[in-house]
Chains A and B, each alone.
Chain A
Amino acid sequence: MMTDTLKPRDGKDVESAVQGALAEGKSLEIAGHGSKRAIGRPAQTDLTLDLSALTGVTLYEPEELVLTARAGTPIAEIEALVASKGQQLAFEPMDYGALLGGWPGAGTVGGALAANLSGPRRIKAGAARDHFLGLTAVSGRGETFKSGGRVVKNVTGYDLCKLIAGSWGTLAAMTELTIKTLPGPETEATVAIVGLDDAAAAQAMIAAMGSSCDVSGAAHLPAAVAASLPLAHAAGGGRALTLLRLEGVAPSVAHRQAALVARVKPFGEVVTIAEASSVPLWQAVRDVLPFAASRAGAEAPLWRVSTAPTQGAALARMVTNATGASCLFDWAGGLIWISVPDARDDAAAPAVRRAVAACGGHATLIRAPAALRAAVEPFEPQDTVLAALTKRVKEGFDPKGVFNTGRMWAGV
Chain B
Amino acid sequence: MSVVMPQPDAAVLARRESIVAALSAIVPGEGVIASERAMRPYESDGLTAYRALPMVVLLPETTEQVSRVLAYCHREGVKVVPRGAGTSLSGGALPLTDGVLLGMAKFNRIREIDFDNRVVVAEPGVTNLAVTQAVEHAGFYYAPDPSSQIACTIGGNVAENSGGVHCLKYGMTTNNVLGCELVLMTGEIVRIGGKHLDAGGYDLLGIITGSEGLLGVVTEITVRILKKPETARAVLVGFNRSEDAGDCVSRIIGAGIIPGGMEMMDRPAIRATEEFVHAGYPLDVEALLIVELDGPQAEVDHLIARVEAIARDCQAVTCKVSSSEQERLLFWAGRKAAFPAVGRISPDYYCMDGTIPRAKLPLVLKRIRELSEHYGLRVANVFHAGDGNLHPLILYDANKPGELDKTEEFGSEILKLCVDVGGVLTGEHGVGVEKRDLMPAMFSETDLAHQQRLKCAFDEKGLLNPGKVFPKLHRCAELGRMHVHAGRVAFPDIPRF
Contact = CB atoms under 8 A, between A and B. Distances in A.
Interface of A: 4-9, 13, 16-17, 19-26, 50, 53, 61-66, 86-87, 116, 118, 122-123, 126-127, 129-130, 139, 141, 143-147, 149-163, 165-167, 171, 182-184, 186, 206, 209-212, 214, 248-249, 251-252, 254-256, 259, 306-311, 331, 334-335, 360-362, 364, 379-380, 382, 385-386, 389-390, 392-393, 395-397, 399-400, 408
Interface stretch (B338-346, B373-381, B383-391): B383-391
Given A145-B450, A153-B163, A153-B389, A256 B203 contact: no
Nearest to B458: A389
B430 interface: yes
Residues of B contacting A: mostly: loop
B442 interface: yes
B268 to A, nearest CB: 23
B170 to A, nearest CB: 10
Contact of A382 (B201, B256, B453, B484): B201
Contacts of B456: 392, 396
Contact of A165 (B206, B295, B301, B423): B206
14 contacts: A23-B486, A116-B198, A155-B160, A155-B161, A157-B447, A163-B204, A165-B206, A183-B257, A248-B295, A252-B298, A310-B114, A385-B184, A390-B201, A408-B201
B174 to A, nearest CB: 7
A126 B198 CA distance: 10
Contacts of B171: 126, 130
A148 to B, nearest CB: 8
B203 A309 contact: no
Contacts of A146: 443-444, 447
B197 A334 contact: yes
Residues of A contacting B: mostly: mixed
Contacts of A308: 117, 119, 194-196
A155 B426 contact: yes
Interface of B: 114-119, 139, 160-161, 163, 167-168, 171-172, 174-175, 184, 188-190, 192, 194-207, 209-211, 227-230, 250-251, 253-258, 295-299, 301-303, 355-359, 384, 387-389, 422-431, 435, 439, 442-444, 446-451, 453-458, 469, 480, 482, 484-492, 494-497
Contact of A160 (B205, B451, B484): B451
Contact of A126 (B175, B257, B480): B175
A154 B427 contact: yes
B163 to A, nearest CB: 6
A212 B450 contact: no
Contacts of A379: 200-201
Given A157-B439, A308-B194, A255 B174 contact: no
Contacts of B356: 151
Contacts of B491: 6, 16-17, 20-21
4 residue pairs, one from A and one from B, having the closest CB atoms: A162-B206, A252-B299, A20-B490, A183-B256
Given A153-B389, A155-B160, 4 more contacts: A6-B496, A151-B357, A154-B355, A212-B139
A167 B206 CA distance: 12
A335 B458 CA distance: 30
A392 B192 CA distance: 16
Nearest to A248: B299
A167 B357 contact: no
A31 to B, nearest CB: 12
A141 B447 CA distance: 12
B250 A400 contact: no
A163 B215 CA distance: 14
Tell me which of B227, B384, B494 has the highest count of chain A C-beta atoms within 10 A of its own C-beta: B494
Contact of B196 (A25, A149, A361): A361
Contacts of B429: 155
A88 to B, nearest CB: 10
